[in-house]
Amino acid sequence: MSKRCVIKVLQILGDPTGGIRKHVHEIIQSSSQYNCEAHYIHGGTLDAVGKGDIKKFNFNGVHRVQLRILKKPHLSDLFNIVAIARYCRLHEIDIIHGHGAKGGIYCRLVGLLVGVPSIYTPHGGSVHASFGMIEGFVYRAIERMLKSITRLYLFESNYTFQSFVRFAGNLQQDRYQINYNGIDVESFSSFSHWLHGKDEVVNILVVGVLREIKGQAVAIHGLAKLQERGGRRYHLHFCGEGQDTNKLKTLVSRLNLESDVTFHGEVVDVSRWYEMCNIVVIPSLFESFGYVALEAALMRRPVIASDCGGLSEIVINGETGHLFAAGDIDLLSDKIIRVLQDVVETDKLVSAGAKRVKDYFNSNIMLKNIHWAYQSVKI
């Protein structure tokens, strides 16, 4: 790191996979541009892209520690908090930025122990129903207790902010900011068309960690509904791995869809799958934001997403894409058929979707806001 870096910022993340990993790693990668020295403490579950990022961090001198961080409350949390507090004192950390439920707890308790301001980005976790009843109750109770020692909240969507307020109460205006996640729009600038689905098979893509909350089962049932309706051949592609892989494969087998569904596993570069598909479906049951919607829009692919969480702030129904009620298989299949039948409308949606992402979800805007927050908190 350059000697000119003056603010030492520690990022804490329990589970560095998917969208939350992308968000945190972009902050770290941008640190030197904004006069910051990057420090990073994370848990052990890394996806393929995350492992590649870690190699770059190690090469570029990012200060990094890997801990055993469990999703559920555990005795090990106490040892981790003590270890992180020691780390902060040793490295004279100026700001601690926690991400997700567990990272948020760590950052604020450590900040209290060592007298360092804490910033918290909830992402999802305790904000929506991603935990069981008992764990969810514990995390939400903790969130209410930690409000008074949180210097600043950075919410990635208005949905996340509103959800937090519903269970934790109002926040003073100077204690929070809504800062939409962003994406590097320049890296997608060369793609200018979408495949109209005139080929023999319509390829539908679903990207994300394979777990119940991401709604892949909805997409599979939607495919079965499309096959029942006839008229076209469809093939469903999944990019991602997760705890529900075997469960989803069993569902595919039970519905006799083996020849119509492909599980590609964890994919480092998903862009080629965007290129080959006709439609991108985001069937999430809960979603605090939704990076896939941004990527698909910039790849100029029609987006059909669940009307839930932050997705409805990215996809404007009938203007930049299509929304369907989460879990509504019939409506999902209707939307897919509409995209293919009304090519003129879909062309307009695709163009409008790409423009909206470039205007509102640019990573340069997101990163400037975050680093401005660091400056203001340090002052």
Among 254, 161, 163, 252, CA closest to 206:
252
Whether residues 71 and 190 share a domain: the answer is no
Same domain, 90 and 78: yes
pLDDT value at 65 more than 80: yes
Whether the pLDDT of residue 5 is over 70: the answer is no
Q: What single-letter amino acid sits at 45?
A: T
225 and 109 fall within a common domain: no
Paired sense of beta strands 36-42 and 63-66, if any: parallel
What gap in Å lies between CA 80 and CA 98, rounded to an integer? Answer: 14
Q: Identify which of 134-148, 160-174, 184-198 has the greatest average pLDDT.
A: 160-174
Mean pLDDT, to the nearest integer, of 322-338? 97
Q: Mean pLDDT, the chain, as a whole number? A: 91
Q: Are residues 351 and 372 in the same domain?
A: no
Classify residue 2: in a domain, yes or no.
no
For 299, 301, 326, the CA distances from 275, given in Å and listed in that order, are 7, 8, 26
* CA of residue 339 relative to chain centroid, distance: 25
Between 91-95, 208-212, 246-250, the lowest mean confidence (pLDDT) is in 208-212
CA atoms within 13 A of residue 220's CA, in its CB half-sphere: 24
Mean pLDDT within 182-200: 74
For the cut 70, the answer to whether the pLDDT of residue 187 exceeds it is: yes
Q: Say yes or no: 201 and 160 in one domain.
A: no
What type of residue sits at position 238? F
CATH classification of the domain holding 30 = 3.40.50.2000
Whether pLDDT at 237 is above 80: yes
Q: What is the mean pLDDT of residues 29-34?
A: 94
Give the number of other Cβ atoms within 10 Å of residue 26's Cβ.
18
Q: Phi and psi at residue 208, in whole multiples of 5°? A: 150, 165
pLDDT in tens, 102-151: 999 999 999 999 999 999 999 866 665 555 666 667 778 888 999 999 99
Q: Is the predicted pLDDT of residue 223 greater than 90, yes or no?
A: yes
Confidence of residue 1 (pLDDT cuts 50, 70, 90): very low
Do 216 and 99 sit in the same domain of this protein?
no
In degrees to the nearest 10, what's the CA dihedral of 158, 284, 122, 376?
Answer: -50
Count of structural domains, the chain: 2
Q: Say whether both 143 and 194 belong to one domain.
A: no
Q: Sorting pLDDT into bands at 50, 70 and 90, what band is 306?
A: very high
122 and 101 housed in the same domain: yes
pLDDT in tens, 347-367: 999 999 999 999 999 999 999
Residue 107 · residue 9 · CB < 8 Å: no
Question: Is the CA virtual torsion 277, 282, 288, 293 positive or negative?
Answer: positive
Structure tokens at 208: 């994300």
Average pLDDT in the 32-47 region?
A: 92
Q: How far apart are alpha carbons 346 and 338 in whole angstroms?
A: 9
Mark whether 133 and 197 lie in a shared domain.
Answer: no
219 or 289, higher pLDDT: 219
Do 2 and 30 contact (CB within 8 A), yes or no?
no
pTM above 0.95, yes or no: no
Would you put residue 99 in left (φ > 0), alpha (ψ -120 to 50) or beta? beta
So what's the pLDDT on residue 2? 44
User: Could you list the residue range(s) of the whole structural domain that residue 60 is in?
Assistant: 7-182+362-378
Per-residue pLDDT, averaged over 269-287, amounts to: 93
Instruction: Give percent above pLDDT 90 in the chain.
Output: 76
Alpha-carbon distance of 191 to 268, in angstroms, equals: 19
